[in-house]
Structures are given as C-alpha cells and as structure tokens.
Chains A and B, each alone.
Chain A
Amino acid sequence: MKLSRPKQQRLFSLHLILGVAIVLPGMAAASGAEAKSQIDFERDVRPILNRHCIACHGGVKQASGLSFVYREQLLGEADSGLIPVVPGDVENSEVIARVTSDEEGVRMPPLEESPEGLTPEEIDILKKWIEAGAKWSEHWAFEPPEPSPPPSVENIEWSRSPIDRFVLARLERAGWQPAPSAAPEKWLRRVTFDLTGLPPSLVEREEFLQAVRNEGEAAYPQVVDRLLASPHFGERWASVWLDLVRYADSKGLGKDERRTIWKYRDWVVDAFNRDLPYDEFTRQQIAGDLLPGHDVEHVIATAMHRLTQTNGEGGTDDEEFRVAAVLDRVNTTWQTWQGVTFGCTQCHNHPYEPLRNEDYYRFVAFFNETADSDTDQEFPLARIPLDSRDYTAASRLDERIENLHGEIWREEYAALSDETMWHALHGLEAKTNNDTPMEIRVADGREEFMTLDPVARDTSITIEAAMPEAVRQMTALKLVVSPANPARAVSNSEWGFILSHLKMELLPPGEEEAHEIAFTQVISDEPRPFYDPQESLDPKSRHGFAAYSRIHYPREAAFVLNAPLEVPPGSRLRVRMDYRVTILDSFPLVARRGHLAVSGSEAVLDLFNQETWQEKRRQLAALQRQREQISATTIPVLRRRLPHLQRPTHIFDRGNFLTKGEQVSPGLPSLFSSDNEHAAETRLELADWLASPENPLTARVAVNRLWARLFGTGLVETEEDFGSSGERPSHPGLLDYLAFRFQSEHAWSTKALLREIVLSSTYRQSARTTTEQREQDPRNRLLARGPRQRLTAEMIRDQALAVCGLLSTKLHGPPVHPPIPDGVWLPFQANDRWATPDPGEEDRYRRALYTYVKRSIPYPFQAVFDAPSREFCTSRRLVSNTPLQALSTLNGAVYEECAATLAERLTQEHEDPSQQIRQGFLLMTGREPTEEELASLDNMHERMVQPDDAQSGLRAVALVLLNLDEALTR
C-alpha cells in the first residue's frame, strides 16, 4: 500500500510561527499595496518578531528577562537596564541598535545563528513602527469582533446575501468570477446532507425540482426551512459536537468499561433541534448545575465534562486520573469554545500567545471544585427519567428533595456542632483483627488511634475506653477520621476510608456481659455523600460513612441513639469499626487516624422529637418514593464539593501533579481580565464569560466551525488554533461579519446562521473546477467554486441504509450494536458483550450516531472513515482516502445487506433492468445517469447475471452504485 502522503498539505496547514501566508491570486498584490501605507503591528511587525526573536524572547524562554509576547516587557527595562522599544524614539530603542549592529555579541539575532539577520525592509518596518508611536495591538482574534460592513462589489446581481459580497470582493480583486450555480438537484443533495446528514428522498427531490420550476427562487428557502425543522437536523449536528466534547460510551484507559451517559448525547440532539441558543448551550454544559433554578436538562448538560476518561486499572491512583480529567476539561473548554491551544501552558508560558503558566492553573481552579474523583462508580450520578416527558415532573421533585434534604441536614448538623456538648474519650486501648499495626498517639491534647503501614485488607479496629466521668447519660458518639498527615493531605490527598459497619458496646462495671448500643441515625458532615452514612449501621452493607476515595480533611460523623442511655459510673465503652472495602485490587480504604467523643446532650433528640422535623422527614421520604417511581437511567454529572471540602489548586511544577507549587485561585487569563468587569471566580461566572459577546473568540470559533462543516475548510483553516501561530482567516471581514451577526441579530441561533449561509450564492456555486482554479487555488480558499466534500463516516453508512429503505428514523435511546466484523470485539472484560440485533430488528439499522462508542475498540466502519475515537477534543476530522475504506464498502456485511436490499427494492419497483439501474443511480446520486453511465452499468449487469440467480446482476450494480465516487461525496 502506498501511503498517500500528499494529503497532509491539506490536513496540516501551514500554521507556522513564521507566518508564511498562502499566496493566493490577488492577495499578494493587495497586501503589497497596503504595506506602503500605515504600519500595522499585527500585520507587519508581529511576523518579524515571531520570525526572528520569539525563539529566545518568547513565552517559554525569556532570555535577558525579555519577551516579545508581552507588551509591558517590550516597553519596559530588560535585565540590561536598556529599553527595547521607546515609542517615537528610534535612537533610544535598543531593538534597533541591536538589529542594525554588525558587532559580534551585540547584533541580534546573533551572528553565528543568523548571519544575514533582518532584511533592510524589515528593519525599516520596525523603525517606522517605533517612529509612529510603537502602537501595540493584541492578536486579531483576542479583540472582540465588530460590525463589519460588506464591501462593495461590481457584480451586485450575484449577491444573495452580504456573505456573497465578502466573497465576491475578494474574487474580483483576484480577477476571478464565481462559479455558476449548481444544478438544483446537486444543491439539494449538498444541503440535505449538510443539514440532516441524510440524502434527499426521491419524493423530496421531485417536489423541489417542481417547486423550482413553478416558484423559482422561493423553492430554496422552503427546502432549508423544512430541513432545519427536521428532527434529523439535531442528529447531524450532534455528531459534529460530540467529536469536540469527546463523547464515548466507555470510560477509557485501563479497563475501558461501559459508561452510561447516552442521555447527554440525546440532550445534544434535542438542543440542536430546538435551536437552544449557543450562549445558553454553553452555559448549561459548563455550569448547568449552578444555574439558578436548574432542572433535569441542565444537569444532563453538565455530563459534557464527565466524558473525560477514568482509569479503573488495578493499582492506579484515583487522584492522578482525577487531576488528568480536570486538566482535560480545561483543554477541551479552550479548544472547543476558544479555539486556542491552552494545553501547552500546563508546563510553561505559551510560546506565542500572552497566556501564562499561572493562567492555566487559575483556569484549572474553576474545574477543580467538582466532587467526581475517578471512582469506578462514576460518582456523582444523577437519575434521569428515561422518558423526556417526565423531565418536568422529575425536575420539580428534585428541587423539592434537594431543598428539604439540605434543610434537614443543616438542622441536624447544627444540633451536633456545639463543641462543648462532646466529651473526648481518653485512655484508649486499640487493636486490630489482623496484621495492621495500630497505635495510640496524643496530638493537640487529644488521644488518637492510628493505623500504621502496611494496612491490611478487611481491617477491623476495636477501641476501648472509659466513659468520661461527666457523661451520666449518652445520646451520641462522634467519630472523626483524619488523614495520616492532615497538613499535607489538604493539597496531596491520601486514600480515604469507608466505614462498613460500626458497633458500640457498653461495659458497665462489674458486669460480664457487654450491652450493644443501638444507634438509629448517622449524621455526617456532608448532606449528599456518595454513600449513605446510615449504611454503617447495617452489618450486611459494605458501605457507609466514608471519604471516598480520597481524604483531604478530617471528616466526622455522629451516631445517634433514639433515646438517652443511662451510663453507670465507671462504665467502659467498646467501639468496633469494620473497614471492608479494598479498591483497585490494591488499596484498603481503612481509617488511618481518628478520635472519638461521646455526648449526653439531648439537643439532637429534641430535634428528632419535633413534629415539624418529623413532618419534613415524612415529606422527604414521600417525595423520594415518588421520584423513584419515575423509571430512570443514571448519568455522571458535575456537582460542586461543599466549601469546607474544597481542594486547593496549585501550579504544578512542569505540569507534574506530584510537585505542587504556589496555590492559586480561580480566574481568567490576564489577557482577558485586565479590567475588572471581566472577573470570574466561579464556574458559573466562567460560563457567563464564555457565553458573552465580550468574549472575542466564542462566536468566531463557533461560526468558523459551522462554515468549515459546510465548505470543508474553515475561514480560519486551523479551527483548533485561532492564536498567532494559527492560520489567518481567508476572509477576515466575513468571519467578523458572521461572528457579530451570530451573537447579535441571530441571538446565538445556530439555525438562523446556517440558514443564512446555505442560502448564499457562495454556497450554491457548482463544485466543477477549471484547470486554472485547481492549479492556483487547489484548496478553494478563495471560494470561487462550491464545496465538494466526502461524506462523513456517519453519512456514508446512513445513506447506504436510507437508500435501500432499511434506515430506522427512531431518535434517541441507549447505544446500539449493529453488526461488527468477527474478531474485532475483544474487550478487556470478557463479559462485555456486543449483542447484535437480528436482521429485521430496528436497532440493527439505527443512524450511526447511536452506535456504541468504545474508546479502545472503535467501530471499524467509523474508524476507517476517519471518525476520531473520542479520547480527547477533536476540532476537525482529517479526511483520508484509503484501500481499507474501499474494502469496507465493497465487502463489509452492512454493505452486503444494503446491496441485496436495494436490489430487492429495485426489482419490486421496476421490471426492466435498465429502469431498475436508472432508479438505483438516481437514489444514490440524486441525479439521472448519463447515457454513457447507464451503458456501463447495463453492460456490467448483463455480465454479472447468473442463470440461477436473477438478482445477482442487480446486486452487483447496487454494490457499485454504493461505491460510486459521487455517492460518497456531497
């Protein structure tokens, strides 16, 4: 197999620090003319600095304390005490002295590295720029888009939309003409795929052609409105979004177990279908759980950042992979919403952008506050009604339950928080049931029990102590469990504990028999812990009061009796704690350190006895029962940890989570937050900032993405990099026009924006090329012709099923398992089955969007047609063209089934073979075959028909049709 390397130039564009521009007709001339006038920092000066200076005086390396990335360093004193640039004063600007010198050790860049140095023209530009006041501007993409009036053009009739004037002005500058309009049927195929991911049906085609004949232009918006209203619109655009947010139905890394998170995928489908404005779409996914009055759908939206990988491999450190997930949230947020590669600032300042190492960790702090922690159970989970019609009822119940729960917990916790009511136990005697060493230490005047290394599995700790003199009656026992090293654990958490069972006995003086004390209630320091602390009272349960799976702070729980217990003087207490859980085959979750106290206060019992409290409890139970009656699935979601359990965020030295540097608080990069109005301190404020018109990148990145999916290439080709190392936009005015319009007139409506673009003359152009165009603009950056794109993996499969009539149009639901080739499904866990529905069952023929996505075993058809395996954010798919694709569509079981079904369908609809072939061709390509094409197929049909199998010829024709270049493109 020859590897088709030539594709790279299309895939990895020249996003060079050198600022090498693609020279297109018209462009060079224009910029040449403009260069003579005003010096523009961004256009003229920054490329010089990037080319010659940034390597040593950039974001990463700042030789002599000087960086050309930051304005203040350029205008301030360097280590030498000299000032690189003095506005208006060429003489005293050290930069000029250096670049014009020819003295070894003075000349910049250094003679031995760059003998030729700057060109006289470059030096001239620098001088002119300094003379004119050294005006600095940030990189274009970091300034908010402004209204951008469409330029005037000569051929005004061609323009249907302002979009066209931007495109045409550029073409006219190059002396080019736009292409003629595509044939209506070609446009229909293009727009139907682009908006719904499916081919137009023959009926839709016929209706449209008739409407064009009868109503002309009016037929076009009618089709677009029909497509935008189709429920399949959401499916098509969801598949675009899911690449960005790395959607998968498995957890990734070590075990790659199944993850139930499909409700999020359905939420995305619905969000596109109901045209949820992009700002709201953003807010709900980043911080839906923090929105005032949040409902079930807002909660589902937050699963977006629970699509990160977790690692369930034995012996792995939950904290390590929790941190990895948090960092991925930061990187994905930047990549998806801001089109800026922020990941490199994990280890150092950004080499080219004014984004600093500290900015990265301040951003991490926005996301470091959630409760999830790489546990196997994927906590925290939300229960989501299976039927979306139950969302409203469930939302109402959830709100009431949450409020009531919180209220009850606060009252209970308050009743126990008076420190004076507790009497610490002294004279502790402790032992374990196994080899785990145990010790009693006194710290801060308090006796503590400690387990020492190596802590064994299934450790039970038994503590005996005298009942404090002052306690004549007992109402509650308090257990505080601390990290082994509490000061260090705040930032470097330790493995936590799960108290599977706690049993207390009273040993009255002189009595042989111990009396077991029955607790009725466990109240912990958290209202919604992952495990119900109450389970610690159930000897059969392994769960209960816990710091799962990591502990940062001392944790406490009170075990309460239902009535005061008389304590004879001189009694002793015996408390046994069973810790039965070991996770990841390696880590016993056993308390490492703790102390006990008892209380005789009746405060909490008084609370329990109040009728209002009892009523609340009853209400809560009733509401919870009601909620449980709604059949539901679970989904991992974002939820904040309580303030007293928040983890601090530190800068990691060289990006390593084990070496923590300075502590930081949440905040936006200084580049965007120099004025206080852009301050953000919480995840919700971050979401607001991302979704605000003041954010310079959000709208541009979003409209560019839509454009790229429609035209194959974005206005900014490097969709993932809007920074100064990315490509500059091919049509800057058009990008800003669309961005500004998206966030203002269109009020962030994706449908309105798409409508405007697909109805433009630019989009309607024919894709036919001339030799001249192919040579001068092979990648169609000037847009002098219409787009011709290969179908996406999803479209290719969906089309095959659709044309043969097998495609299910059912929306939503759990992932499905269509046929998979033998020997592919070899999951790490042997019990993870791929159960394919039989022929005829609907779930065999669902749209590709619903196919189960396992990260370690990508569905072969998807993978071979360039769908990413969703490990991290993918901004654009790299389109390849390989023999393995040919084998999939020639020999794959899906294609075999489709070809046979299509042949069957054609046989039923027509008797004459030529008619059958004509019809098949029309179905696959949306157009009538030419006589020549028909002859080719007729001829093959004749040669392939076998005497004993009348349909064999037609099956072969169907397979060829499914493989036509025209069938695989739009």
Chain B
Amino acid sequence: MMNRSSLIQEALHSSLQNFTRRHFLRESTTGLGAFWLALQGTQAAKAKTAEGAAAMGLPHHPPRASRVIYLHMVGAPSQLELFEHKPELRKLHGRPCPAEFLEGKRFAFIKGVPEMLGPQFPFAQHGECGAWISDRLPHFAQHVDDVCFIKTIQTDQFNHGPAQLMVHTGQARLGYPSIGSWVTWGLGSENDDLPGFIVLLSGGRPPRVGKALWSAGFLESVYQGVQCRGVGSPVLHIENPEGTSRDERRIMLDTLGDLNRQAYAEWGDPETLTRIAQYEMAFRMQAAAPEAMEIGRESPATLELYGAEPGQESFANNCLLARRLAERGVRFIQLFDWGWDSHGSSQAEALNGGFQDKCRQVDRPIAALLADLKQRGMLKDTLVIFGGEFGRTPMREMRTMQRAALVGRDHHASAFTFWLAGGGVRPGFTYGQTDPVGYDPVENPVPLRDFHATLLHLLGVEHEKLTVPFQGLRQKLTGVQPAQVIHDIVA
C-alpha cells in the first residue's frame, strides 16, 4: 500500500546516519586531547580515526578500490575514433542523417540535416577480450584485458561547462561538491602530509569552469581539490620565502606553537589546538609535497615508459605523478587534459588534425600508468577512469554548410564511452551497447548518476548514505533521481 523506498524515506534514513556521525564527532571533540592526538598522525590517532570511520558506518562495505586516478579528456574525445567500432557508419558516410536522429534533439552547432560521418581511423581487435580499438591508441590497445568499457554513458548536458560540472559534481550548476570532495569527505585521506584530493592539469589550458570541477561546494573548503603543478611551485605557497631556511622555519614554528599554546591555556578555544596542529602539518607538507612531485627521482626506464620529461607540463608527467601520489596514499587524483573538442572548425580541433596529436600525447602515458600500477601490485586497489564530458555525434559538423578539408563532430550527450580499470572492476569486459551508428544505447544505458553510484560503491560507499543537508535537501553526488550501482561491471 505504500512504497516505502520513496526518496523521502531514504532521506530520513540517511539523516539518522548523519545524526550518528555528528553525535560521534561531538563526543570526540569534547575530548580535546583525543582530537589533538588525532591530528598528530600517531598510532593512537590512526586508531581514533578508524574508530571514527566505523562510527560513521564508513566504509559501508569492504572497498574494492582504495583510491582513484581519474583521467578527464577535456572537450570530449570522439568515441567513434577510439573505442566504438561502427562499420555500418562507414557505409553511411556522406549520406544525410536520418530524420529520427534529429527530432526533438538540441545540438550545440549542427544545423539542418547533416551528413553522416564514417569512422576516420581503422579499428582492430585486441587482447583476449577482443575489444575493438582504433589505430590511434596502439599502446593502450595492449592493455584492454585490464580494462572495462562502458559504451553507453549518458548525460543531459551538451555544452562543455555544464557537462563537465555534471560529470564531476552530478549537477549542471556551479557550487556542488566534486566527486573527489565527496570521497575525501567520506573516507578521509591515508596520508597525513599530503592533501587527499589532488588535481593535475595538462594541455595548456584549465577546463573552462575551472576550480568548480574540484570544488568542495557546500562541504568545508578543506575537502576541495588542491591543484598541484609539475612546473614551478608544486603547491601554492609550499616554499618558504627566499632567505628562510627550513631550520629557521622550525624555530619560528616552535615559537608560534609556544605562544599559541599559551593562548589555548588562556582562552580554552579548541580551534587553537587545531591551528597548532595545522601549522605542523603544513611544515610536514612542505617536505612531502615537493618530494612527491619530483619525477626526476624516477629511473630513466620509468621516465621512458611514460614518455615523461622532468620540468615540463605534460599529460605524461601527470600520469607518472598520479602513480607517485597514489603510492603515497592520496585518495583522489584528478587529471584534466585540454584539447579534445574536435569540431573540425580549426586545425587543432579537427579529427584529421589536432585530435591525432592528442591521441599520441595520451596513448603511451596511459598504457604506462596501467602497466606500472599493475607491476607494483597497485592496480587491484587503484581505480583508473578515462572519459570526457560527453561524446561526439555520428554526424559530421558543418558550421558553414560548406564542406571543408577539416573533419569534426558535434557534441553528443546520449551515448559515449568511459573506461575503468583496476579497483575491483571486471577486466576485459564491455558493458552497454549502442546502435550500429553509435547514436543511442540499445542496451544498458548508464546515466552519469549510475556511474557515480558505481564509483562510490567500488570505494566501499553507498551513494544513498553519503549525504549532507543543504538547501532543504539531503544532497548527494547522485542527485535526486534514483541511481543504481552497475553490479555487472564489478568483478
């Protein structure tokens, strides 16, 4: 007579979870000594943290992945030139697009009745799983047996800004926490000296909505992603001012700590103790972050494997950095690589132009990352994700109605490809199938919220329980529409 699994019921349920969590936290803060210890990274603190996570019910189940390396190709790479083998589309090349593809659809740039555009590169099958990969990714193709493809990711946004937000925050608007923020908020970090959520950029430009993609939204600012750089200062203000040595800084911090402890004795404000601890953590970070970000410490063989060159800003360097950070227990490592918006409107943004350069830039580093993680035994609990903010149309984009030498495709929201590797996903597997031209899913569509739910699931988190009350709603990464974990892709 009543559907008890209604949204509100879930909200009520999760509010109880929250209550339990906060209740615990209040208890723990009143014991100031305990909090103080917790911030010192001691064994006792570790015990305390574990106890805290348990009291919050986190993880909700045994995690398959302990950390995430997320590779986002900014601009949306063409699935039809990389992962989606569509011989039918080749046959339709140059023919007018069927009317049913256009009815009721909105496009960013396509006008009228466009032509179909056949795949621009040859495909071949690889590995034991027989996955079809285009000849643009020869190195990656050797690792398909470690990879799980989802061919039917769907979004409801077809402009870059909102679509990028949709992928990383579950909302098309600015101001919501990103995946990395949710994850570090829920699970904390495994490293006391480095931020738990680190962002690395390549391709010469940041994504267009900028920091909003690694924002903590309405969570505390401590959970926002920290942008680290391979060139110059790795973290903002990580270096002492010129002329101040580490020993001198130590003396200053000792004095500061001494004075702040006197302030605590006087006022009894627990925030003072936290502040003392945070200054100490900053001091440790000053040593740990540059060390972690120094790829020059890697062997020449490793540098060669990735195609990394110390001192550059490149996707290859960032892949190697991602592995170094993963090794050090950073929870969520987010890479953005600019330059995948292949409209065909300029040389750099054409499938028969810049797209091929982009493929070359990422192919070897991605293969190296997968191989390196595997060789170090880290792939089993490191989840690697590859994707864009949407896919590209099987139709050719012609803005001027004139057929030019440059070839491109428009934004496409209804079916595109993500792949995942490691971290408990089913290797050598393909989930979801699109129609013969790659326009719509014919089986197992995966809205982004299901992808988010699955990602959290792999980390041991139930997406419906990781909630925060804000603006009258129990906010969660997966939003208000029902989302489901795709158990088929979990190994």
Contacts and interface: CB of A to CB of B under 8 A. Distances in A.
Interface string B238-250: 1111011000110
A890 B237 contact: yes
A969 B269 contact: yes
Interface in A427-486: 434-435, 453-457
B229 interface: yes
B268 A943 contact: no
Contacts of B111: 453-455, 586
Contacts of A105: 1
Interface in A212-257: 252-256
B356 interface: no
B174 A60 contact: no
Contacts of A969: 269, 271
Interface residues of B, number: 124
Contacts of B472: 341, 343-344, 350-352, 721, 723, 725
B222 A887 contact: no
A963 interface: yes
Contact of A960 (B162, B255, B285): B255
B160 to A, nearest CB: 6
B221 A61 contact: no
Contact of A6 (B29, B233, B244): B29
Interface string A934-970: 0011011001100000001000100110011110110
A183 to B, nearest CB: 11
Contacts of B274: 4, 881
A869 B161 contact: no
Interface in B200-250: 205-206, 208-212, 215, 218-224, 226, 229, 231-233, 235-241, 243-244, 248-249
B233 A1 contact: no
Given A18-B15, A883-B285, A944 B248 contact: yes
Contact of A823 (B2, B232, B262): B232
B260 interface: yes
Given A105-B1, A887-B282, A351 B237 contact: no
A309 interface: yes
A1 B208 contact: no
B125 interface: no
Interface in B168-207: 173-175, 184-185, 188-189, 191-196, 205-206
Nearest to A253: B161
Contacts of A20: 19
A64 B278 CA distance: 55
A7 interface: yes
B267 A769 contact: yes
A887 B159 contact: no
B50 interface: no
B281 A775 contact: no
B376 interface: no
Interface stretch (B35-43, B59-67, B318-326, B434-442): B35-43
A165 to B, nearest CB: 27
Contacts of A313: 159-161, 208
Contacts of B251: 940, 943-944, 956
Interface stretch (A152-160, A401-409, A857-865): A857-865
Given A55-B6, A315-B411, A860-B236, A454 B275 contact: no
B258 A936 contact: yes
A54 interface: yes
A631 interface: no
Contacts of B16: 18
Interface string B267-299: 111111011101101100110000000000000
Contact of A58 (B2, B8, B210): B8
A17 interface: yes
Interface stretch (B20-28, B143-151, B357-365, B379-387): B20-28
B487 interface: no
A917 to B, nearest CB: 11
Contact of A936 (B9, B206, B259): B259
Interface string A758-783: 00000000011111001100100000
B257 to A, nearest CB: 10
The 8 closest A-B pairs by CB, nearest first: A454-B112, A315-B108, A341-B472, A856-B210, A883-B282, A871-B174, A886-B282, A454-B111
22 contacts: A2-B45, A5-B185, A14-B22, A17-B11, A17-B12, A56-B8, A344-B472, A350-B472, A453-B113, A586-B109, A774-B32, A821-B233, A823-B231, A823-B232, A823-B233, A828-B205, A856-B208, A863-B211, A881-B222, A883-B278, A887-B282, A964-B263
